[in-house]
Amino acid sequence: TLSSSDTKQTSSSLLSSSSNSTSNIIDRRFQLFKKYSDDDELMSVDGILRLCNDLSLEPDSYEVLLFCFVCRAKQMYSLTKDEFFLGLKTLGIHGDNFSELRTRLFNYNIVSYENEFYNWTYHYGLVDGQRCLTTQNAISLWRLFYLKGIERPKILDQWLNYLEQDINNEIPKTITCDTWTIFPQFEKFIELNGYGAYDDNEAWPCLFDGFVEHQLEQQQQKNSSSN
Amino acid sequence: MPKNNQSAILNKTTELIDKIFNLDNIYDSDKVSLTYMELYTLTFDCFNGNTYAYSTNRLRVPKEPAVTGEDLYVHLENYLRNKLDNVSKDIDNISNENILQYYKELHYNYKRLFKVLNGSYSYLSRRWIQHELDSGRRDVYKIDVVAEYFTYEINQAKTYLPEEKSTLTTLIVLLETIFLPTDIFNIIVGRLQLLVSDENKHQELAVLFEPIHQLTKLKNELLKLIETHVYQKAIESITDDLINNPLFYIETIVNIHGKYQKLIQETFVGDQHFVASFDKGYAKFANQNPVSKTTGITMTLAEILARYCDTLLRKGCENDDWNEKLNIIMIIFNYLNDKDVFMKFYQKMLRKRLIDQLSVSDSYEETLISEFKKKCGYEYTSKLEQMIKDIHLSDDLTNEYRTYQEDIHGNETSKIYSNNFLEENNFFSVVVLTSNSWLFSHPSDIILPIEFKTIYDNFTTFYLSKHTGRKLILLHQYSKGELQINFTTKKYRLQVSTYQMLILLLFNQELIWTVEQIQDKTQIRSELLFEILLGLLKSKLLIADDPLTLNSRIKLAENFISDKTRLNLNLPSKPNEQKDQSHLVTAAVDERQMVIQAALVRIMKKERTLKHSLLIQQVIQQLTSNFKPDISLIKKYIEILIEKEYFQRDSNDKDTLHYLA
């Protein structure tokens, strides 16, 4: 409803000719939406896959995640009409020009929305009423999130490796929202101070305790083998 | 000759130090370094002459040592003492306004001076102190002297700079770096380690305690050494055979405690830091589970201590030294980390003592419980107290019931009935136990024989008329009775369990039963039934074909004979006990997750918003009377509660938590 109320406000203060063009825009956006929606209200997996195809984007690409964020999609692989309109409006797309949509997505500057984008990603990744992201999904989303627009943490590979390999069989099946939310603070802390400065008595989530311990062990092994 | 030489060198030294002291401009580095070098050379020569008979062009030193390192130190000490005495006299004469200014200058100059002196004497420090320590000298002046200046400076600062606490800390750090450079520091620590590990040398430690006491850095090292030493020695004194004997084990570790406590008291005049260090080392030792190398059995301190209490409370102690034993129990109890596990064991053993009436004294039981209560609070012992109370109340209840029964039957005239009744009534006793204090497992249902059921029903009616709304459950596994055998020529009396009674009473109806029939009549579950039957067969009161199956026929041994007229058939079955122990530990540990989460929620509910670290601190504080919670465990439960939306992290500060109502 955000987009429609916005346009109403604008239309009332505009001349009739431009009000014609606003309704024209809405109409064209709606036509576009209808093309991929089964019931004029919701674009489901099927429609999104077709949209991706028409945009020449892989469904699991960074740009698709970004587009869903711009739409503030609440559910993975599903867009409501309002979400879709919001997305197009934010990107400034007035018609059904796919190459423009692609360009806008590729050039979109996400940096000022980093926090919101990051926290949104967790909830976006929850499927079928899950309360926690599965570790597998979290790993994929972390990888995708830091792929292009946001500066990639130096420890990201170590962190994801640690989760994937699960050498000590201690990685939980799910990543809690708390752990996800604190991760950026954690990675910045480590980058600034190193693993040695980490204090597991502090308020960090337990999963980081195990990770840092593992990294310190690795470092030690490296040092002793190089000596 | 040597005498002259000595005074010549010492005079020269005084002259040189004076020179440094009196230098007008301390920043004149040329002059300083010149004197510095002279002094350094002098000490170098003295010492090397001493060792190698090394001659130089500047000063000829004979083979016999003219000046020893010690002389130089004594000399330096005296010199500085005089100087400082004069300074403090001067200070007394200065008006208050100028004191700060004067002190500032003085302090600055001295700081500078000590730096120079320290440099000059550094050669000597390295060589001589090493040398002296190697040859096992009793005490080293160095520490004494250093400590004296520390105290002096610190006292000065305290007197004249009361407002500037921050300066004081800086001063101490500065003094430490000046007087205790790493190499010397390490030498002293090495020496202290020798003294600590050799218990005959603790006299020397006592001498050193006074100076070291004032040197925080050294003191901290010594504290660590004490902690490790106590731990090591205690571990070494535990032998394998002790573990199987809780009585010896507990008394041995209490003796170790006493020995080291005395030593610490004497050596360090009860300094609280040293006592704390000792406590830490001892606690670490005591809570480490002893493992028997021969049997591989691991026991927890909690279990051993509970067994120790149990043994004493069953067998009593000689010469009425209960207070002494009580003291021993409480010493170890205070060090015990897993007080919750201990309570599980204690409760189980108390249960057995109370039900089987094995306790040697009610007052022993009560005094010990009140000691636990003093230490850990009302909640910790509430179940124990309820248990004791139940037993007391049950005595009264039994008496009440007997009177009640007499009143009812008193009117009846039948004399035969009356006699029979009286005997039965006096024989009957009952113990009513509150279910949540005793934690019994409910037995599966069985069919009570009519003889027994009447009594039980009568009592139930009586009890429920007094206490409406309660429910009575018969605990067959703990009940017992007495039967009289009438079929033999000699009259035997048998003490039997409920189950045994059930089976034996069947033989009043028939002389031969199959196992299946018995099970049908009693409803005792088959595993237990076989166990009981085997026991009865062993007593030779019953006879059956071997091996025992469901179809086996069992008959009464009509020619039963025994030497004794009273037979106790109600013997406990042993092997189950071992299994129970590990179960108790896991039960206690399982309970902890609830206890920790409850504490977390309680604290947060009260505080609403709290720093993560303070929350952990408060949880530990609340729970230590029960067990020492692991920080990582607390962290884990905080995370779980965040996930369950009981708590929320502050969005701007990950270290702050909010309570969500």
B554-613 residues touching A, CB cutoff 8 A? 612-613
What proportion of chain B, given as a percentage, has pLDDT over 90? 13
Q: Determine the pLDDT at residue B559.
A: 83
Cα separation, A27 vs A147, whole angstroms: 35
- The residue-averaged pLDDT of B431-453 equals 82
**β-bridge mates for residue B516, sequence order:** none
Mean pLDDT lowest among A67-81, B47-61, B64-78: B47-61
Contact between A41 and A35 (Cβ < 8 Å): no
Query: What distance in Å separates the CA atoms of residue B489 and residue B565, rounded to the nearest whole number?
Result: 11
Q: CATH 1.20.1310.10 residue ranges in chain B?
A: 2-52+64-143, 227-389
Question: How many angstroms away from the CA of B289 is the closest CA of chain A?
Answer: 26
- Spatial contact of A196 and A212, defined as CB atoms under 8 Å apart: no
How much is the pLDDT for A137?
Answer: 92
Residues in chain B, overall count: 661
- More reliable by pLDDT, A148 or B174: A148
For chain B, residues classed under CATH 3.30.230.130 are 441-571
On whether any CB of chain A is under 8 Å from the CB of B317, the answer is no
User: pLDDT at position B211, please?
Assistant: 65
- B635, B642, B654 ranked by CB distance to A185: nearest: B654
pLDDT, tens digit (0-9, with 9 covering 90-100), for B16-61 = 666 655 554 544 555 556 665 666 666 555 555 443 333 333 344 3
Q: Look over chain A and give the mean of its residue pLDDT values, rounded to a whole number.
A: 84
pTM attached to this predicted model: 0.66
**Chain B residues touching A179 at Cβ < 8 A:** 639
B441-571 placed in CATH 3.30.230.130: yes
pLDDT digits 0-9 by tens, B237-287 = 877 777 778 888 888 888 889 988 888 888 787 788 888 888 888 998 888
CA distance B524 to chain A (A): 46
* pLDDT (0 to 100) of residue B658: 93
Is the Cβ pair B636, A203 closer than 8 Å?
no
Q: Model confidence over B124-182: pLDDT tens digits?
A: 555 555 444 444 443 444 444 555 555 555 555 444 444 444 455 555 565 566 555 56
pLDDT value of position B617: 92
A203 and B612 in contact by Cβ < 8 A?
A: yes
- pLDDT tens-digit readout, B583-641: 788 888 888 889 999 999 999 999 999 999 999 999 999 888 888 888 888 999 999 99
The confidence score (pLDDT) of residue B605 equals: 92
**Domain B227-389 belongs to what architecture?**
Up-down Bundle (1.20)
CA atoms B395, B396, B397, B403: torsion sign: positive
Distance between terminal CA atoms of chain A? 66
B646 to chain A nearest CA, in Å? Answer: 13
Q: Domain B2-52+64-143, what architecture?
A: Up-down Bundle (1.20)
Shortest Cα–Cα distance, B234 to chain A (Å): 30
Confidence of residue B10 (pLDDT cuts 50, 70, 90): low
Rounded Cα–Cα distance for residues B185 and B142 (Å): 11
User: Over pLDDT 90: what percentage of chain A?
Assistant: 40
- pLDDT attached to residue B634: 92
pLDDT computed for residue B164 by the predictor: 44
Q: Give residue B110's pLDDT band: very low, low, confident or very high (50, 70, 90).
A: low
* Strands ordered across the beta sheet of B512-514: B512-514, B553-556, B542-544
pLDDT at A44: 87
pLDDT band at A70 (very low <50, low <70, confident <90, very high): very high
- Verify whether the Cβ–Cβ distance B632 to A132 is below 8 Å: no
Which residues does chain B have within 8 Å of residue A201's beta carbon, measured at their own beta carbons? 613, 616, 631
Report pLDDT for B261. 86
**Is the CB of A176 less than 8 angstroms away from the CB of B649?**
no
User: Would you say residue A72 has pLDDT above 90?
Assistant: yes
Residues of chain B with CATH 1.10.10.10: 577-659
**DSSP of B430-467, one letter per residue?**
-----HHHH-PPPPPP-PPPHHHHHHHHHHHHHHHHHS
pLDDT in tens, B363-389: 899 999 999 999 988 889 999 999 999
Pairs of residues, one from chain A and one from chain B, whose beta carbons lie less than 8 Å apart: 40
Say what the pLDDT of residue B329 is.
93
Give me the architecture of the B577-659 domain, per CATH: Orthogonal Bundle (1.10)
Per-residue burial over B269-295, b = 16 or more CB atoms within 10 Å of its CB, e = otherwise: eebeebeebbbbbbbbbbeeebeeeee
Pairwise CB contact (< 8 Å): A206 & B632: yes
Distance from CA of B644 to the nearest CA of A (A): 10
Residue B583 class from Cβ within 10 Å (0-12 exposed, 13-18 middle, 19+ buried)? exposed
